Structure 1
Amino acid sequence: MSEPGEVSGPDTVTAEASRAIHVLAIGAHAGDMDLTAGAVLAQHVLEGHRATLLHLTLGERGHPRLPVPEYAKQKHDEAEAFARAIGAEARFLDYEDGLLPDDEDVKMRVGDLIRELRPDVVLTHWSRSIHKDHARTHRIVEDARFYGGLKTLERERPAHWAGQLFYADNWEDAEGYRPDVFFELTDEAYQVWSEAITGYAFARGETYGFPYVDYYRALTTVRGAPAGFRRAQAFAAPVGSRDLRVRGTF
């Protein structure tokens, strides 16, 4: 594990059964990390670990028929319900869907949350996406992780370096994405996540018709098969290129 500014090799995936591991999943919109990493989060909770979902926006402009304030409330409620269903915590920032800034203010706010929550692992978006909020979230998290761990940067809380960072497998973030971490899912974790994700209207295909639930359920089989697993969720590491088969925790 390295401190900010130090040079290190690829992050490693470890099983640390002796202590609780905290995984923080940071998404541009409520539902992003729920879909792409929710089964892994559910599995960590089932194994006695901790999971938090941080939504930078609600994705409130994503419904073609509902007024934005109405859909904002619905998305907030859906995100809370999903987190409860998998045993995680939901956190929200107050940025607007489609207008997420890429500035030092948002990076510092997320960095401060990293200091507060003290995660061991951070999950977020890949760098290239068809959705600008996703690409901006990637850059925000990269810098926020640095600010959160920078001991010489004085903030309200002491510095905390989140030792591992991975990028989730999102069809909207596919350009140049190569998954190299394959996290095996238990049947129980898959079922918990599979049921919980149907609480999102957009995931059920009720906004623009894309069959998110069917797509991401099927993707667990697609990602699991080459690794020799029945089901898996895949991630990419920020450094190097690896092919890891993961059982247990990060």
Structure 2
Amino acid sequence: MKVDILAFGVHPDDVELGCSGTLIAAVNEGKKVAVVDLTRGELGTRGTAETRKTEAAKAAEVMGVDARENLGMADGFFEHNEANVRKIIAVIRKYQPEIVLCNAPDDRHPDHGRSSKLVSDASFLAGLRKIETELDGTSQEAWRPKFVFHYIQDRYLKPDFVYDISNWMEKKMEAILSYTTQFNTTDASEPATYISNPDFVDVIKSRALMFGKRIGVKYAEGYITTKMIGVTSFDAFIQHTT
């Protein structure tokens, strides 16, 4: 299945936190969207790999994406090695996205930066035809996404551009709160965490408000790109003029 956007998260809930507003907007524009989680989030303090799987499925339903899968890498201990690069190459060639979204290059959780490099490298290498991969016993054709964008999560990074999600912020929060073991909970049966406190939800909204204010809209998500973006018309700017 070819998609327009393929979003990677190293843990189930990364995509929801970082770029779900963008994905929901894209789905409502009629674009095809798929999500790939690198790990099962099995080292998370709260919940289990099984509960995260159920929550991820619910969040995918809320976002309306066309597909979601998990590559089963080792949470916390996955390496930037040939085996893992090949796994990501294979899934990029499977979905043939025009745009790849992935974790920030630097963040509070060390997995985020490591996965960011892993996905961006695989996105380039997926375009080299002499790297051979198979899917269900069939050889895959080379495919390189046109752009790789890194969504901003916990640590503040200055975005290269922001995406207006004003119409979809409520839906984004619904997707995030699908992870009932992780967010907005005072359940004391497991240890409290940095993200479980209900105040963390306010942080998510505040970040979106801050990015939105920079372009004169209510809410936005921020992205980093190493590839320069070109435009063919000033209309792309005029529509955001306030």
TM-score when normalising by structure 2: 0.82
Q: 1:120 to 1:240 in 2, by over 3 A?
A: closer
Aligned partner of residue 199 in structure 1, secondary structure:
coil
Residue in 1 that maps onto 2:55:
78
Q: Which residue of the other structure, out of 165, 170, 177, is the alignment partner of 1:191?
A: 170
Structure 2: which 5+ residue stretches go unaligned? Answer: 134-138, 187-191, 231-235
Amino acid aligned to 2:18: T
Q: Distance in 2 between matches of 1:94 and 1:179?
A: 30
Count the aligned residue pairs: 219
Amino acid aligned to 2:176: I
For residues 174-207 of structure 1, the C-alpha deviation after alignment (integer angstroms, 9 at most, x for no partner) is: 4xx32021111242x2222222211113132555
Aligned partner of residue 171 in structure 1, secondary structure:
coil
Q: Distance in 1 between matches of 2:74 and 2:238?
A: 36
Q: Kindly state the Cα deviation for residue 129 of structure 1 after the two structures are TM-superposed.
A: 2.7
Tell me if the contact between 1:184 and 1:245 (Cα under 8 Å) persists in the aligned partners.
Answer: no
Residue in 1 that maps onto 2:13:
31
Q: Distance in 2 between matches of 1:247 and 1:151?
A: 40
Tell me if the contact between 1:83 and 1:90 (Cα under 8 Å) persists in the aligned partners.
Answer: yes
Q: Distance in 1 between matches of 2:116 and 2:106?
A: 8
Aligned partner of residue 36 in structure 2, secondary structure:
strand
1:42-81 matches, cutoff 5 A: 42-64=24-46, 66=47, 71-81=48-58
Tell me if the contact between 1:197 and 1:213 (Cα under 8 Å) persists in the aligned partners.
Answer: no
Q: Distance in 1 between matches of 2:99 and 2:113?
A: 20
Residue in 1 that maps onto 2:147:
164
Aligned partner of residue 93 in structure 1, secondary structure:
strand
Q: Which residue of the other structure, out of 107, 112, 118, is the alignment partner of 2:96?
A: 118
Q: Distance in 2 between matches of 1:225 and 1:21?
A: 31
TM-score when normalising by structure 1: 0.80
Amino acid aligned to 1:203: F
Q: Kindly state the Cα deviation for residue 152 of structure 1 after the two structures are TM-superposed.
A: 2.9
Amino acid aligned to 2:172: W
Q: Kindly state the Cα deviation for residue 226 of structure 1 after the two structures are TM-superposed.
A: 1.2
Q: Distance in 1 between matches of 2:226 and 2:43?
A: 30
Q: Distance in 2 between matches of 1:182 and 1:247?
A: 14
Structure 1: which 5+ residue stretches go unaligned? Answer: 1-19
Tell me if the contact between 2:16 and 2:175 (Cα under 8 Å) persists in the aligned partners.
Answer: no
Q: Distance in 2 between matches of 1:222 and 1:129?
A: 18
Residue in 2 that maps onto 1:223:
211
Identity of aligned residues (%): 24
Tell me if the contact between 1:145 and 1:161 (Cα under 8 Å) persists in the aligned partners.
Answer: yes
Q: Distance in 2 between matches of 1:122 and 1:41?
A: 11
1:40 matched to 2:22: yes
Residue in 1 that maps onto 2:233:
none
1:142 matched to 2:124: no
